[in-house]
Structures are given as structure tokens and as C-alpha cells.
Chain A
């Protein structure tokens, strides 16, 4: 089965560039409109227009606080988990609207889900499409390849863990664990602080995203 094409759109006060983004991406299955209390009215208007255009199968409305990057990522990723449990998705972000926190968070999500991010610039009376290069992270794919990888990462926990304790918890040899831990470190998911392995901010977010 092919990937489900999902477009995530933070909504600010202008909806024209958000609609314009659909010229570049067709056959979108779902659209997630992310908005704050202030931009709710614009999100509703966008929803109405998208429905009238009948270009997407489903529109999901998500109201967020977007106070900080980690809190927004937490909010939006729990929604994505809820909507697409074990589904293969391609996440495309139109990061033109919304606050900087919203846009950067959607950019991170698209990077993790091997999607694309783009921005629509206003050039006089016309619009210009600009694709923003994503990190093309292999993190999610790597973790989902085997259940033990997620379990090791989960076992590191908020406070970090020593290698011998991790070995007891997951029931794997230290040598096996070191292989995975090195890989996690390479991917930016963990750091080593003295004799403990600790999750980075990215690691904490990713674990929330992949945990069942």
C-alpha cells in the first residue's frame, strides 16, 4: 500500500498563500489545519473553502497553544499518532502561515516523516513557491524496523540510565546495546553524560512519537 499523503498547515491571518500551496501538491488525502485561538476564525474560513473546492478527502482541525517548540511538538505529534497509528504517511508542510514555533515544528515533523516543507512568498501581486530543504531524517524508519530499538530508547527514560541497568531492563548484552546506543547518538537522539545515557530534546520528542 502506498503512503498516505498528508498536508499539515499552520494557519495565521492570511489564507491565500495556504490555498496557493495546493497548486503544487495534488492528490492530498488529508489536510491538518493547525491554529491558535487567535487564528481560529481564519482556519474555519480555510476549512470552508477547501470543502468547497473538494480537493482533499479529509480535513482535520487542531487547535494548539504553541507556547514553545517542545510543547507544540508534543501536542501535534499526539494528534498525528492518534490519527495515523501504524499507517505509512508522507507529511507535507506548508509553513507559510502561523507563528514561527508552529512553522518550525511542522518542518521538524516533515523531516521526520520524509516529507517536504514549502513556503509561499508574496511577490507583489503574485505568489512564489519555495521548497525548504528538510533534514530527510531516517530516525522514524530506523526505529520502526525493530521493536527492540524503540524499547531501548524508551528504557533510557527522562533521567537517563547506566549501561548495566539498561542491559538488565531490556535483557540484551552490553555489546548489542552499545551498537544501538552509538546509532542513537549518531541520529541525535541521545547523549552521554558521565556514565549515563540521556535522551536529547529530539530523543524525547521522537520517543513520544513512536511509542505505542
Chain B
């Protein structure tokens, strides 16, 4: 099973989706593809680093992670749209026609999500949206602490991992499949 996500401002939407799929889907072999634009590069680094943490690994299981740079700063004009579409088309080609794809619509710009959904037509896909009930202020506050600690190689507290990457357990998933 492939989980295709767009990374926005919070890496939590990826780790939470992975944890949820691990606990709720029969197919335990998950390949997670994370699309990102240049303006969220810092968050990509956060995600890359935290995925090495034993505590995170235990929660999301053994996942094959693939990061794909869309190569744009943000999605603002026709050129950006074309570049985004080209990246997604390439990814879908690599995935293969009969594989099950879960589209994680929680992160990224609305336009990116819509373009992704449009390109996925004709495929065997499901739709997943993370709803976090942890106050946004807490996530924003933690974001800078976590970035700083990871940059300096300081070990994150359990609570920081639990809150930032798993919304302190206060998240729900809206999952919609064919």
C-alpha cells in the first residue's frame, strides 16, 4: 500500500497517518511518499530526523519512506502547477496501476491536494484526512523547540514527540475508501 502525502507546515500529518494505518489497515507493508515544496524544507528535515527515533519507529512500524521534492517554492502560477503535475505523474507511474493508494489530504496547499486527487483518477485509491484536536498554539510552540533540538542533536522529550508528531493522541482520522 502506498501513502501519498503532501507535507505542509506540520510533519505530524504524516506520522499520524502512518500510525493510524498501521493500527487500522490489514496491509502492513506501507510505502510512504512525501511530496514537498521548497518553502517547507525545514519541516522535511524535522521529519527525516525524527523518523530515526526509536520511539517514533515503534509507533509507525517499519515504513519505507520516500521524499520527493516538487522543485517549486510554492504553488502560485501555471509553471508551478505543471511542475507539480509532472512530479506526481512520475510518482504514479512508478507506483504501478494496480497498487492501492491512500491519498493523505491533510497537509499542503488546497490546490496541491486537488491536483493530486485529479491525477489519481482511475486508480484504486482511498482518502485520508487527519483531524488534530491539539491546540494549534501548542504545535506552533513545539515546532521551533523541536527544530532547534534536532539541529543541535539534543534528544527530544517523550512528551514533545507525543504532542508534535502524534497530537498527544488527540487526533482523529476521516478515512474514505471505495
Size range of the chain B interface in the assembly = 20 to 34
Of A95, A133, A137, A202, which contacts B174 at CB under 8 A?
Answer: A202
Give 20 pairs: A residue, B residue, CB < 8 Å, sorted on A.
Answer: A69-B174, A70-B172, A99-B110, A104-B105, A104-B113, A108-B176, A121-B81, A121-B111, A123-B78, A124-B78, A132-B117, A133-B117, A133-B118, A133-B120, A135-B127, A136-B178, A137-B178, A201-B172, A201-B173, A201-B175
How would you classify the secondary structure of chain A's contact residues: helix, strand, loop or mixed? mixed
Residue from A121, A123, A201 within 8 A of B131 (CB atoms): A201
B24, B110, B178 interface centre (most CB from chain A within 10 Å): B110
**Contacts A69-B129, A69-B131, A124-B78 given: A111-B174 contact, CB under 8 Å?**
no
Main secondary structure of the interface of B (DSSP, over half): mixed
Question: Interface size bucket, A side?
Answer: 20 to 34
**How many A-B residue contacts, CB cutoff 8 Å?**
59
Q: Does B114 contact A (CB under 8 A)?
A: yes
Interface residues of A (CB under 8 A from B): 68-70, 95, 99-100, 103-104, 107-108, 111, 119, 121, 123-124, 130-133, 135-137, 188, 191, 200-202, 205
The 4 closest A-B pairs by CB, nearest first: A133-B121, A100-B110, A201-B174, A119-B114
Chain B 99-134 residues near chain A, CB threshold 8 A: 105, 110-111, 113-115, 117-118, 120-122, 127, 129, 131
